[in-house]
């Protein structure tokens, strides 16, 4: 059924002011040091013309050899990478991931590249200076998580001694002395995965509750201006992910518990929780084809990626985590410190236009629910990244988020429009500071156009897959391809004049109207 939307800016009611750095991103620690990460899909798999198959007969651990590969460190001085990253304007850069939990900070070079016992890898001075220089160059604030592996504890068997800050102090002091202080920190990445996140064997939620308080006390005593952000859980209580929705959440994330040992956020926080400056969690819509065989309840098919149920997952996670935020960080912001279409490096369509609907819907819905920051995973690693790992060519999500950051201001309005197939309607103030409003309307129907009635002349920005292909790797803006020009120049991102009256939005399009 075709939908009709009448825009009436005069009836909008302000909901809140959101963080101006809301659209931020991650750089994986495995990128910085070099390390194991997800293998890229083939062009045929991305296009949907070639199947993606994983042999799970030997279990998930055995399958990893075919799913992962070793990558060299990222060059954060790359001119093209920096140029494109800087276009987003001021934001947060989070350098973390499970790899971060297992890293030794060899900032004085004494290890000479060797990995000490109890760690998985080392971070060199040159690599960390590269991160600090990058953060400074793009005008960002730096967020991290710290090492908490057997090497830090001095054991890999219980009982687990208390965490000590000897590694964290090296990272924080070096950064501060270099002139790029760490402005925010989680304790560790996804601690509810327990030993699978890098903790010693037999590590428990009670150990985490104890150690998180130790980290908090150390942080506030030595770096009081650094935000403490936590607990950084993934899956479960926020509404879950996958087709089972909230039921999946009660089962620790739609199948995660069948593969990995997990615990709840309340277990992690313990009976005497430490204060949080910001409440954080991780959200993914599901698990990718790489992990679908091990966690089938968490996987969505590409034919479902525009469905109401699929697009609701991010917003269900925000609503589900809000009570936990209110409990552990009353009055604070809520940050999604990893976000993307699917755990396991992204789905085959993560680098195509099809994922733009999810990305923009998450941004619009999240800001209507809460204030906070969304860290897209990642800038330039794996198939869900904004930029291709090798060429740094922008993917559709890069341009979609760039338009969001240029157009959408910090005041969020209640549009009064119920969300339904063909009409996901969001409204913000204008980023340029002028009087007026910016609407985002997502027509996620594959078959029906949506008619919008404009009360006055506007500027229109309509995004679509090239040639009407929802899995296109090139996105169009008002019919023009969004690709880099000579010298890696950005394409023209200007809107088109749109007269007042009825406007037809074609199926599977995302449109900004600046009034």
- Each residue's pLDDT tens digit, 415-460: 999 999 999 999 999 999 999 999 999 999 999 999 999 999 999 9
Three-state SS at 493 = coil
Mean pLDDT of 471-481: 98
d(CA 109, CA 252): 41
d(CA 302, CA 127): 38
Three-state SS at 120 = coil
Mean pLDDT of 218-238: 91
Mean pLDDT of 367-376: 98
The predicted structure's pLDDT at residue 36: 87
- Each residue's pLDDT tens digit, 245-300: 544 433 333 344 434 568 899 999 999 999 999 999 999 999 999 999 888 889 99
- Strands of the 450-454 sheet, one edge to the other: 3-6, 450-454, 501-505
- Cα separations in angstroms, 253 against 204, 235, 284: 19, 4, 10
Strands (E), 97-254: 103-106, 121-124, 141-144, 182-185, 227-234
**Confidence category of residue 239, pLDDT binned at 50, 70, 90:** low
Within 10 A of 411 (CB to CB), how many other CB atoms are there? 17
Q: Nearest to residue 402, comparing CAs of 493, 335, 278?
A: 493
pTM of structure: 0.95
The predicted structure's pLDDT at residue 194: 86
The predicted structure's pLDDT at residue 236: 60
Whether the CB-CB separation of 315 and 363 falls below 8 Å is answered with no
All domains of the chain, ordered by start, with CATH?
A: 3-15+413-514 (2.60.40.1180), 19-410 (3.20.20.80)
Q: 3-state secondary structure string, 273-309? A: CCCCCEEEEEEECCECCCCCCCCHHHCCCHHHCCCHH
d(CA 116, CA 189): 21
Within 10 A of 270 (CB to CB), how many other CB atoms are there? 16
**Burial category of 137 from C-beta neighbours within 10 Å (exposed 0-12, middle 13-18, buried 19 and up):** middle
d(CA 64, CA 434): 52
Whether the CB-CB separation of 71 and 40 falls below 8 Å is answered with no
- Report the mean per-residue pLDDT for the chain: 93
The predicted structure's pLDDT at residue 480: 98
- Each residue's pLDDT tens digit, 132-186: 999 999 999 999 999 999 999 997 666 899 999 999 999 999 999 999 999 999 9
Q: Is the four-CA dihedral 268, 271, 275, 279 of positive or negative sign? A: positive
Within 10 A of 488 (CB to CB), how many other CB atoms are there? 13
**pLDDT at residue 28 greater than cutoff 70:** yes
- Each residue's pLDDT tens digit, 34-76: 988 899 999 999 999 999 988 887 777 777 778 988 999 999 9
**pLDDT at residue 319 greater than cutoff 70:** yes
């Amino acid at each position: 059924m075709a939908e009709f939307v009448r825009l009436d800016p005069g009836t909008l009611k302000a909901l809140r002011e959101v963080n101006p750095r809301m659209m931020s991103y991650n750089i994986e620690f495995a990128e910085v040091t070099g390390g194991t990460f997800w293998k890229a899909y083939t062009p045929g798999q991305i296009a949907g013309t070639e199947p993606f198959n994983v042999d799970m007969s030997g279990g998930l651990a055995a399958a990893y050899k075919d799913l992962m590969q070793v990558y060299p460190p990222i060059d954060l001085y790359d001119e093209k990478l920096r140029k494109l990253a800087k276009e987003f304007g001021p934001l947060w850069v989070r350098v973390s991931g499970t790899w971060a939990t297992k890293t030794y900070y060899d900032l004085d070079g004494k290890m000479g590249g060797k990995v000490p016992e109890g760690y998985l890898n080392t971070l060199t001075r040159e690599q960390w200076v590269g991160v600090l220089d990058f953060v400074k160059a793009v005008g960002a604030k730096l967020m991290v998580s710290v090492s908490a592996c057997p090497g830090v504890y001095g054991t890999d068997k219980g009982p687990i001694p208390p965490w000590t800050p000897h590694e964290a102090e090296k990272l924080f002091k070096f950064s501060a002395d270099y002139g790029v202080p760490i402005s925010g920190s989680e304790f560790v990445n996804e601690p509810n995965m327990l030993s699978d996140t890098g903790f010693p064997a037999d590590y428990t939620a009670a150990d985490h509750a104890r150690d998180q308080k130790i980290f908090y006390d150390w942080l506030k005593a030595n770096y009081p201006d650094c935000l403490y952000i936590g607990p950084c859980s993934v899956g479960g209580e926020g509404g879950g992910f996958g087709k089972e929705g909230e039921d999946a959440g009660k089962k620790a994330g739609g199948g995660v518990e069948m593969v990995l040992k997990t615990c709840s956020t309340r277990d992690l926080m313990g009976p005497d929780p430490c204060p949080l400056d910001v409440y954080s969690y991780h959200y993914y819509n599901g698990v990718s084809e790489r992990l679908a065989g091990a966690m089938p309840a968490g996987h969505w098919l590409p034919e479902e990626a525009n469905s109401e149920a699929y697009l609701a997952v991010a917003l269900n996670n925000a609503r589900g985590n809000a009570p936990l935020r209110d409990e552990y960080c009353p009055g604070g912001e809520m940050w999604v410190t990893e976000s993307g279409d699917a755990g396991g490096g992204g789905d085959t369509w993560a680098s195509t236009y099809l994922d733009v609907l999810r990305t923009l819907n998450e941004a619009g819905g999240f800001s209507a629910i809460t204030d906070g920051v969304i860290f897209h995973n990642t800038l330039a690693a794996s198939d869900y990244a904004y930029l291709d790992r090798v060429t740094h060519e922008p993917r559709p999500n890069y341009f979609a988020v760039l338009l969001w950051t240029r157009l959408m201001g910090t005041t969020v309005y209640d549009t009064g429009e119920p969300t339904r197939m063909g009409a996901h309607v969001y409204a913000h103030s204008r980023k340029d500071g002028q009087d007026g409003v910016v609407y985002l309307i997502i027509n996620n129907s594959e078959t029906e156009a949506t008619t919008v009635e404009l009360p006055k002349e506007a500027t229109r920005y309509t995004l679509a897959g090239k040639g009407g292909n929802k899995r296109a790797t090139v996105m169009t803006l008002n019919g023009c391809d969004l690709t880099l020009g000579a010298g890696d120049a950005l394409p023209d991102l200007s809107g088109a004049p749109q007269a007042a009256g009825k406007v037809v939005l074609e199926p599977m399009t995302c449109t900004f109207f600046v009034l």
